[in-house]
Amino acid sequence: MYIYVIRHGQTDWNKEKRLLSLKDLPLNNTGIEQCKEAEKLVKNLNYDLVISSPMIRTKQTTEIVNSKKTPVIYDDRIVERNARSLEGAYVSTFDYTAYWTVGKDKEFDSETIEECQERVYSFLDEIKEKYKGKNILLVTHNGICRIIYTYFNGYPKKKNIFNKGQDNAQIKIYEIK
């Protein structure tokens, strides 16, 4: 069983290096082009189902990369980590590394990494059982990509997962044995 994880294409806030959480922004032109490029890879993947975050940017990404028209399920458990009062802040205006470090992330009023981890891990545990033997394409957000990384690889030594995300429209492959 394989889990193919793709991050949505670029939005204007991604380009501006603003923290994008639950604000429902669409892809920009660059993001659309990124997804068209990713589709060239995705069409060669063997997947049985697509599970996507229900946000506009992930829905648009799904529509573009899923040229096979494989059935899609939308799941709120893979929406982006809730940044709360930091939503829209330029990442240069706060300690973005601490925001993605377990323990230090509690300095913010956002959803903690561990809270986010709880919902994403339960989601992944469920799909492992419910879709056993099936290959799944997940379309989600950078923060969730970081959490998925920890599910399969554990936390890095300092519990900082800042560098464990994905570029816009980048695909990572995880195997469940």
The one-letter amino acid at 82: N
Six token digits for residue 168: 């816009």
pLDDT (tens digit per residue) in 35-51: 999 999 999 999 999 99
Domains in the chain, ordered, with CATH? 2-175 (3.40.50.1240)
Please, where are the H alpha helices in 5-163?
Answer: 12-15, 29-42, 56-65, 96-99, 113-130, 142-153
pLDDT at 76 > cutoff 90: yes
**Closest of 167, 163, 171 to residue 99, by C-alpha:** 163
pLDDT at 24 > cutoff 90: yes
Six token digits for residue 67: 């040229």
pLDDT confidence of 82, banded at 50, 70, 90?
very high
SS3 content of the chain, % helix, strand, coil (to 5): 45, 15, 40
Angle at the Cα of 4 (from 72 to 51), degrees rounded to 5?
20
Site of tokens 């669409």:
26
Helix (H, G, I), strand (E, B) or coil at 51: strand
pLDDT (tens digit per residue) in 86-139: 999 999 999 999 999 999 999 999 999 999 999 999 999 999 999 999 999 999
pLDDT at 177 > cutoff 90: no
Whether this prediction's pTM lies above 0.95 is answered by yes
pLDDT (tens digit per residue) in 127-168: 999 999 999 999 999 999 999 999 999 999 999 999 999 999
38-to-20, 95, 111, 139, 174 alpha-carbon distances in Å: 21, 31, 30, 12, 17
